[in-house]
Structure 1
Amino acid sequence: MPMSSAFKDRLFPALKSIVEHYGTPFHIYDEIGIRETGRSLKHAFSELPGFREFFAVKALPNPRILEIMQDMGFGFDCSSITELLLSRRIGAKPEDIMFTSNNTSREEFLCADAAGGCILNLDDITLLPKVPRLPELICFRYNPGPRRTGNDIIGNPVDAKYGVSHDQILDAYRQAREMGARRFGLHTMLASNELNYAYMVQTAEMLLSLIEWLHSEIDIVFEFINIGGGLGIPYRPEEPRLDLAAMAGGIRAALDRFTAGNNYAPQLYMESGRYMSGPHGVLVTTAINRKNIYRKYIGVDACMSALMRPGMYDAYHHIDVLDKDEAAGTEIVDVVGSLCENNDKFAVERPLPSIDEGDILVIHDTGAHGHAMGFNYNGKLRPQELLLKADGTVERIRRAETPADYFATLDFTPDIFKP
């Protein structure tokens, strides 16, 4: 959702001095906001014993952010070797890491098994014999196919490359048990940025129904269900917020019904990323050019390499112009970067206060899938990351990339092979 008034009150009075000290562009994250969201999530599900959030590292893979998540008692959802190493670097234990990947390589499995292992969540039944050492606890990612519709963003499950199909899921657990697995979990991920709480309740109900059927067929008990991530945030000011309390109540009722019929209940896990950090980050950039041709363009010193969601998804991100509001009137502009691609735009035909060169623009909701999705096309370099700490100080938590970083992979020992 567009940044809260409390985040603005903490950031905007100091923003000019922060810009003077660090320069632009930069992403800055709000520690207080992140912690408040974490507390609200834990409170909503506090009546469910064993509930746990595994923060989706891909949303904001910075060690300082992961330390905040860890301090709140959250685990980490990882999907690559680098994310595993990053989580372990800040002290995550095996039970703190849910490793879910697809098209998983042997190297990734070996990394997952290192340092005491992790919760291994397999995306495909054919991966079972490829796991170098099958752990006692095993989980599968379930794809219901035509039995369920995805939301508008993540698409139809039938078309998704992820997960074990419905007609494979029973055999997957049967094979895992025959190979030595003794503890079991079940995972799915069907939605992205979902604002309808009922969809998430239905996902939990789907998994509970599935483990009830699996138990009746092969007599295994499930320790947990993981409904995945996908909890949404409203990017536009007029959009409603996800009703977290109603979602928690619906899932709690579903678990109560399951318990009444089965004399036990699995723990509930989820792996939100965007919901946890998305609204609590902004991209701060400076207007450096005005161009008037067929449209009015405001050129800024950031580009799509710092935030690709608008260009990739045509996603809306709200924009404030520091110390200017719409009371004095607006103009219709495109806010653009310098990349050699015409989709390098943060806003298209957006009514904004009149912008002059040197004005500071604040692009909202970049605390997830912002810096993390950056890239180096055109040789563009990703910006620094800052943390607005709870005590009001600002900490640099990632420096900006430099040309030396870009050229570092060209410094290698020559290797010429003649077949």
Structure 2
Amino acid sequence: MTLDPQNNHPRAETGDPGAGEGGARTAATVEGVDLQALAAREGTPLHVYSATAIRQRMASLQAALQGLDALVCYAVKANSNGAILRLLAEQGAGADIVSGGELWRALRAGIAPEKIVFSGVGKREDEIVQALDAGIARFNVESRAELDLLQRLAQARGTVARAAARINPDVDAHTHAKISTGKSENKFGVSIAEARSWFESAAQRPHVRLDGLHMHIGSQILQLAPIREALRRLARFWRELEGAGHRVASIDVGGGLGVRYRAGEQAPAATAYVAEIRAALAGYEGLLVLEPGRWLVAEAGLLLTRALLTKHGEQRDFLVVDAAMNDLLRPSLYDAWHDIVRLGDNGGREIVAYDVVGPVCETGDTFALARTLPRCEAGDLLAIAATGAYGASMASTYNSRPLAAEVLVDDGRHVVVRRRQTLQEMVAGERSPGEWQWT
């Protein structure tokens, strides 16, 4: 397993073009770190992230944005590990947060509050107060109720909150229904008509400076056409507001740019994406904010897992591995595809179509159906690719399975950035009957 320099996608080293379906492979490494040795030392399941891949993605986006007044706010929800946040902060990134916990993580990682924007449809009062006290850059407001709440809380604290209206441009992002956020039936944002009324009544909320626009139409977008249309509608509203005398100091175009999860998928390049932004918002002189998450970290990560056993069923063969849906939820939640590779010498091994499954007691604990791999045996090491986003960040302790360890690799070195959770740590917040105090 190595990092493909063309697209930063973790994949196996091989001289055989057909090796993705089970050809022979050489030693598996990421950034010079041997994955077999790493798994033997740190155990499995194990999340592994490439620092170089993340830096390269960030650098390519910054290069595409050159000449623009732009701020890249990494979507913390994609991967909230403190080491990843610090790495991106060192590259100049801010943060797009959706909770008080993510705000705490971003600040702890050294991200300046003036580089943090707060999104989300259900911000609690205490979270808003936490963000006001921290002095974050902007709230992306998603409802009139939230706008009024922000006014009340900012007034009580004698401050002025900066805000952007999140519009719902009613554009189909052509992605999975559960990660589509820009259609009129989705819970996110408000119509342009409602946002217009907010600007018209802005004087009624003196403790909220509404001078920004925001949109986000979905995640894992592989076509630029929906982005282009959403930008067109956003730009038209911006020009309308400016014409009516409403200053728009910030336009946040959201995130959602897709990545390559399987052969045949082609994710848009940063240059093409930014070219659409430049074209749609030509003449805009305020701050541009982008909120990439998945695009920055997904392909920089992989999940190492060991085969526990193979099981021959009446209709199919099962490969049971020690990773499960609690370690990587995307296949269960979205029927998402992730490439899976058996690491090691595959020479002479027959190719078998396996259902690759975990040990959790759910039929949905399935990583792949009828996936062709070299014949596997107990103890074999496999890598599930492109798990850097929405892998560890969506993990749980379902079935009382401790959270997996996370490792960062960088130029031949590795460091454990989250150690494997112990059983005692997993139950640390629970109280035994002897500790209960009934009220």
| TM-score scaled by length of structure 1 | 0.91
8 Å CA contact 1:287, 1:301 repeated in 2: yes
Are residue 90 (structure 1) and residue 109 (structure 2) matched? Answer: yes
Alignment of 1:180-195 (within 5 A): 180=206, 181-182=208-209, 184-195=211-222
How many correspondences in the alignment?
406
Amino acid at match of 1:14: D
Partner of 1:150: 173
Give me the whole-angstrom Cα distance separating, in 2, the residues matched to 1:122 and 1:325.
53
Give me the whole-angstrom Cα distance separating, in 1, the residues matched to 2:192 and 2:413.
51
8 Å CA contact 2:100, 2:131 repeated in 1: yes
Partner of 1:268: 288
Q: 2:233 aligns with which of 206, 231, 241?
A: 206
Are residue 129 (structure 1) and residue 148 (structure 2) matched? Answer: yes
Distance verdict in 2 for CA 1:13–1:393, change over 3 Å: closer
Give me the whole-angstrom Cα distance separating, in 2, the residues matched to 1:368 and 1:287.
23
8 Å CA contact 2:169, 2:233 repeated in 1: no
Secondary structure, aligned partner of 1:34 = helix
8 Å CA contact 1:151, 1:190 repeated in 2: no
Secondary structure, aligned partner of 2:424 = helix
Are residue 382 (structure 1) and residue 403 (structure 2) matched? Answer: yes
Superposition deviation, residue 266 in structure 1:
2.9
Distance verdict in 2 for CA 1:90–1:83, change over 3 Å: same
Distance verdict in 2 for CA 1:336–1:24, change over 3 Å: same
Partner of 1:3: 10
Superposition deviation, residue 326 in structure 1:
8.1
Gaps of 5+ in 1: none
8 Å CA contact 2:28, 2:35 repeated in 1: no
Are residue 280 (structure 1) and residue 300 (structure 2) matched? Answer: yes
Partner of 2:36: 16
Q: 1:297 aligns with which of 293, 307, 318?
A: 318
Question: Greater shift after overlay, 98-107 or 173-182?
Answer: 173-182
8 Å CA contact 1:12, 1:322 repeated in 2: no
Give me the whole-angstrom Cα distance separating, in 1, the residues matched to 2:262 and 2:228.
24
Cα deviation, 1:157-207, whole Å, max 9, x if unaligned, reads: 122111122221112223344322446111111121011123323322221
Are residue 100 (structure 1) and residue 119 (structure 2) matched? Answer: yes
Alignment of 1:4-403 (within 5 A): 9-10=29-30, 14-48=34-68, 50-131=69-150, 132-133=153-154, 135-145=160-170, 148-153=171-176, 154-155=179-180, 157-180=183-206, 181-182=208-209, 184-217=211-244, 219-256=245-282, 259=283, 264-294=284-314, 295-325=316-346, 328-389=349-410, 391-403=411-423
Give me the whole-angstrom Cα distance separating, in 2, the residues matched to 1:331 and 1:110.
56
Gaps of 5+ in 2: 1-6, 14-26
Give me the whole-angstrom Cα distance separating, in 1, the residues matched to 2:251 and 2:327.
35
Secondary structure, aligned partner of 1:222 = coil
Superposition deviation, residue 330 in structure 1:
1.2
Partner of 1:410: 430
8 Å CA contact 1:27, 1:385 repeated in 2: yes
8 Å CA contact 2:218, 2:256 repeated in 1: yes
Task: Quote the RMSD (CA, aligned, Å).
Answer: 2.2
Secondary structure, aligned partner of 1:302 = coil
Amino acid at match of 1:401: Q
Give me the whole-angstrom Cα distance separating, in 2, the residues matched to 1:5 and 1:267.
41
Superposition deviation, residue 232 in structure 1:
0.1
Give me the whole-angstrom Cα distance separating, in 2, the residues matched to 1:87 and 1:29.
19
Distance verdict in 2 for CA 1:415–1:113, change over 3 Å: farther
Give me the whole-angstrom Cα distance separating, in 2, the residues matched to 1:175 and 1:4.
54
Distance verdict in 2 for CA 1:177–1:207, change over 3 Å: farther
Amino acid at match of 2:438: I
Superposition deviation, residue 141 in structure 1:
1.1
Distance verdict in 2 for CA 1:285–1:4, change over 3 Å: closer
Superposition deviation, residue 13 in structure 1:
6.1
Question: Greater shift after overlay, 279-288 or 105-114?
Answer: 105-114
Secondary structure, aligned partner of 1:157 = coil
Give me the whole-angstrom Cα distance separating, in 2, the residues matched to 1:166 and 1:203.
12
8 Å CA contact 1:61, 1:372 repeated in 2: yes
Greater helix proportion: 1
| TM-score scaled by length of structure 2 | 0.87
Distance verdict in 2 for CA 1:165–1:183, change over 3 Å: closer
Give me the whole-angstrom Cα distance separating, in 2, the residues matched to 1:98 and 1:190.
17
Superposition deviation, residue 329 in structure 1:
3.8
Superposition deviation, residue 327 in structure 1:
7.4
Cα deviation, 1:6-46, whole Å, max 9, x if unaligned, reads: 99653576111111211111100000011011111111111
Give me the whole-angstrom Cα distance separating, in 2, the residues matched to 1:116 and 1:381.
36
Amino acid at match of 1:269: V
8 Å CA contact 2:78, 2:293 repeated in 1: yes
8 Å CA contact 1:200, 1:227 repeated in 2: no
Secondary structure, aligned partner of 2:427 = helix
Cα deviation, 1:226-285, whole Å, max 9, x if unaligned, reads: 1111000021122123133222223212232xx2xxxx5332211111000000000001
Partner of 2:4: none
Give me the whole-angstrom Cα distance separating, in 2, the residues matched to 1:32 and 1:331.
34
Secondary structure, aligned partner of 2:189 = coil
8 Å CA contact 2:202, 2:210 repeated in 1: no
